[in-house]
Amino acid sequence: MSNEFDRGSFSPDDISQWFWDVVERADRSRDRLKAELQSMTREEVIRFDNEFQEAAVQLVDEPFLDFMEGNVSEDSAKDIADFVVSQGKKVYSEIWANPETIPTSVESGENHTLAGIASEVFWDRFKESIPQEIDFF
């Protein structure tokens, strides 16, 4: 079914192996990711956040929305996308190849995802929000 949809020029391989290695080391633990990010440079924290956002935004559009529960809200679609990215490259790539396997819903709140951790760490360390204009791709 996935071959029916034009998903533009993006590919899961556009997200760096470095990013996926960080996600894997975090092993779905917000605390582990926080520790990883604490040891990174300013630029690396920005890069991690940018890549997380890029990977997630790719899942909040067609064909993935077709398989989410009912008339999913933008927030719910983002929660699902954040959850998928937080599971790592293998799960992300499998869902990319088979959009019908995307979760139809996830529990609300951020405790089940790695979303937002980079922003928290960046604020704690540098007392500013992560700039979004830096492009590492």
Indicate whether 135 belongs to any domain.
Answer: no
Give the chain's domain count.
1
Indicate whether 6 belongs to any domain.
Answer: no
Q: pLDDT tens for residues 22-39?
A: 999 999 999 999 999 999
Indicate whether 7 belongs to any domain.
Answer: no
With tokens 């992300």, the residue in question is 92
C-alpha separations of 30 from 21, 58, 129 in Å? 15, 22, 19
C-alpha separations of 59 from 10, 85, 94, 100 in Å? 11, 9, 12, 12
Range of the domain at 34: 16-126
In the numeric block, which tokens belong to residue 35?
């520790």
Indicate whether 33 belongs to any domain.
Answer: yes
Indicate whether 102 belongs to any domain.
Answer: yes
Q: 3-state SS of the chain: helix, strand, coil percent to 5? A: 60, 0, 40
* Predicted pLDDT at 50: 95
Higher pLDDT, 9 or 22: 22
Given pLDDT bands bounded at 50, 70 and 90, which one contains residue 128?
A: very high
Supply the pTM of this predicted model.
0.88
Count of CA atoms in the C-beta half-sphere (13 A) of 19: 29
